[in-house]
Chains A and B, each alone.
Chain A
């Protein structure tokens, strides 16, 4: 007998109800039960961060969270960064393209969600409002949370810093390629 549970959650603002096995990871549930395949699995042991999603405001590794733990939660995945599938890229997504912050793109959703969560955190926003927008050093430390095998990271760091500064200045990130 499978140990199954009926749960309900919001993903990118949409309500879902489903029955999941207790041991099923949030990543597998998002990808295979709900079709949010933008969340990728690179290691399934919490190191690479490709599966990072935002759960109730915090970045989590969806391979280390069980689907049942998301019962009642609000989850944001990479698909939720744009207004619908055809909407324009977000400032952060656009900055990734401008700064060549992706090659194969497999790790990219994890970095996007990690960065998006960080830039929305209250502690960071308070610092930024005090005139301390994201430094390259702090961005590097943040980006070191996840693994990328293609880019060497500099583009990711540059995209993140450019987005943070542009948001701070209340404008789109400058294309300084």
Chain B
């Protein structure tokens, strides 16, 4: 039986359950110093004075550095290129120079023996800022437009000019982000050679970060080794190159001592990439039968104070993915990326898709009601069919062509609707009672996964028979070690239990591209599959020599290779690994020693999973509280390597999506002071807010572009939550228009309930008595 498809327990679990995981702050080095970052208390202004004299004299402090101490001209470049837009004027410096642009911007670093002493000394840094007005609303005229992106095709003017019906809504998506439970952490340990460093805590894209750090420090990149560590959740925000990723290693070299920095939660909430905040004005043109003629969205993205490593990836993905699963003859998506005096933005799980799916799917519900069509029927009428696949749109994203590769969207929508019916969602939503309203919401979406261009893997069998996989993916809590072990076991015909997987180590896998964009199972897994397949072929070749048999007479199973039909003629992978040692008589001249292979999987295109979400909500119009009673995710994943983990990804994504739809919001006052700086104001959903999530996992359409047929599963749980919740709340309240804004906090829902009542009263007076 193949290890692929099995609900195997995770390899990561035992160490994590014992408290023996190795997270960044669990690792310490002898003689280690601690760093504390001093951050701007003002949203915008000129730094008149930054006096570190008292801080430097404080007990236990050995260094205080400011921008004046840094090598000149450093700024963090864009990692993820989209289009050819020049963002060099908007990049974030390592430490702020004469100007601060958001509360939380790093100004100085205090280094000392003890983290408590560092925190005390940081308070002694005297900061004098001449405050300037803060831009806090990206729609206002005073914000800098850093970039404008347009994705379009077809004749949009004719589409709207000839339409029978046009529907339009505005929807604001709230500012929120990943907020992993482990704050960021870095430990940099200088080695004996000048410039050499061991680094713990860089996750996600360690090779890229290592290379950038090496270039900034002016050292050879192989002097720096980033070690793999456990990470307490990534969600897109952890592991990008932030100012601290230069500062801590640079300080370790400068002070010739190990330096550790462990972020606290208050600074995490103002320092880590924010995301999501966009204002959509979206409209669709329909013919008399409800067929979409055109779709147009005009978007403003509040990008915060700088363009960070993601550049314009989020707006790029927003406009590229906005048409979703529908047949849209004419399309125009425009987004203006506006800089404000807030924490800069990056990607958060399903970047651009959470936002765009919410806008499009909410619009379709409003449109269906206007057209007098059933909301599911309107979608059915406009979904691309399996006969139209693959479907190429004349647009690109992240420098790849958008080619929806496979699937049957109408079948999945029908399956989701059936499942919701079977589980009693409609009946539950139809119940109304004293003081509460209920509603049902549904949304369709297309995800993307498996971004290239490449991933590399090494598979080696050691003399004990253990199999070592060295992957360029990184562990962020998603279970990558389990999944890659299953893939390797399948290819090698061995037990996943004998396979260990190393991730995130730049010495072990110097060509790794990291874990993000739902790419690791697809791209990283395919590389492991190819390397393990090559090892299997090599094992068969060597076994043939050892057993003096023809390769075609051999079979591989249970970690050994034997002659078919002859139980006595069999060698284990351990035997073969020993036979591949240098000077072995089984090696031919010129053949490399060892039972090992390195392979690279390359792909120019992404693979596009898809799905539907359905929610039943209960709204208390008096308090404005929304409770989600039931939630369903139907998702096509091509092939699930471990269905338990796929379901876990989907369920976890829903929980995060509910946060961004109902609770989580980085609000700012007019002076640009952040109002959500603890977990009291920034409300992550607890078990009391997250209902059981039903999952309908489909494996009907294997991805054509990779040898495993897999699609990514990391983001499909969150993509359509904003849409489904907005649609369900709108349904509950009986609104004619849209909900206008996410998250649907109690205050906003109360206003909507009042608005709905007024609409309904007005409607009633117009009716003849």
Contacts and interface: CB of A to CB of B under 8 A. Distances in A.
B690 interface: yes
Interface string B645-679: 10110011011100000000000000000000011
B453 interface: no
A155 B17 CA distance: 14
Contact of A141 (B9, B17, B645, B688): B688
Interface string A76-89: 01110110010001
B25 interface: yes
Interface string A14-46: 000000010110001001100011111111110
B60 to A, nearest CB: 9
Interface string B24-36: 0110100000000
Given A106-B477, A149-B656, A177-B644, A157 B23 contact: no
Interface string B227-252: 00011110100000000000000000
Nearest to B476: A104
Given A97-B9, A104-B476, A85 B20 contact: yes
Interface of B: 7, 9-10, 12-14, 16-21, 23, 25-26, 28, 115-116, 178-183, 230-233, 235, 262, 264-266, 476-479, 644-645, 647-648, 651-652, 654-656, 678-680, 684, 686-688, 690, 692-693
A34 to B, nearest CB: 13
Given A42-B181, A106-B180, A149-B656, 13 more contacts: A41-B25, A41-B183, A45-B265, A81-B18, A93-B17, A97-B9, A103-B233, A104-B181, A104-B182, A104-B477, A105-B16, A150-B233, A152-B655
Contact of B19 (A39, A44, A150): A39
A168 B638 CA distance: 42
A77 B262 CA distance: 21
Nearest to B642: A100
Nearest to A46: B679
Nearest to A146: B686
A93 B233 contact: no
Interface of A: 21, 23-24, 28, 31-32, 36-45, 47-48, 50, 77-79, 81-82, 85, 89, 93, 96-98, 100, 102-109, 112, 140-141, 143-157, 177
A145 to B, nearest CB: 8
A79 B18 contact: yes
Given A21-B116, A149-B684, A104 B9 contact: no
A27 to B, nearest CB: 11
A151 B21 contact: no
Contact of B687 (A24, A140, A150): A140
Contacts of A43: 265, 678-679
Nearest to A147: B684
Give the secondary structure class of A's interface: loop
Contact of A150 (B9, B18, B477, B692): B477
Contacts of A141: 687-688
Contacts of B9: 97-98
Give the secondary structure class of B's interface: loop
A23 B116 contact: yes
A107 B654 contact: no
A55 B193 CA distance: 46
A98 B8 CA distance: 9
B651 A152 contact: yes
A81 B20 CA distance: 12
B182 to A, nearest CB: 4
B180 A149 contact: yes
B18 A151 contact: no
A36 B762 CA distance: 65
Nearest to B654: A152
B679 A45 contact: yes
A144 B23 contact: no
Contacts of B262: 41
B648 A151 contact: yes
A149 B690 CA distance: 11
Contacts of A104: 16, 180-182, 230-233, 476-477
B116 A143 contact: no
A105 B17 contact: yes
15 contacts: A37-B25, A38-B18, A40-B232, A43-B265, A47-B678, A48-B679, A97-B14, A104-B180, A104-B181, A104-B231, A149-B652, A149-B684, A150-B181, A150-B477, A154-B692
B656 to A, nearest CB: 7
A97 B10 contact: yes
A2 to B, nearest CB: 8
Contact of B17 (A112, A147, A148, A153): A112
A48 B233 CA distance: 14
Given A48-B181, A152-B652, A177 B7 contact: yes
A150 B652 contact: yes
A161 to B, nearest CB: 12
A93 B476 contact: no
Closest 8 CB pairs of A and B: A38-B19, A104-B477, A105-B16, A106-B232, A78-B19, A152-B655, A47-B679, A152-B651
A93 B16 CA distance: 10
A82 B644 CA distance: 26
A106 B25 contact: no
Contacts of B686: 143-147, 153
Contacts of B680: 45, 47
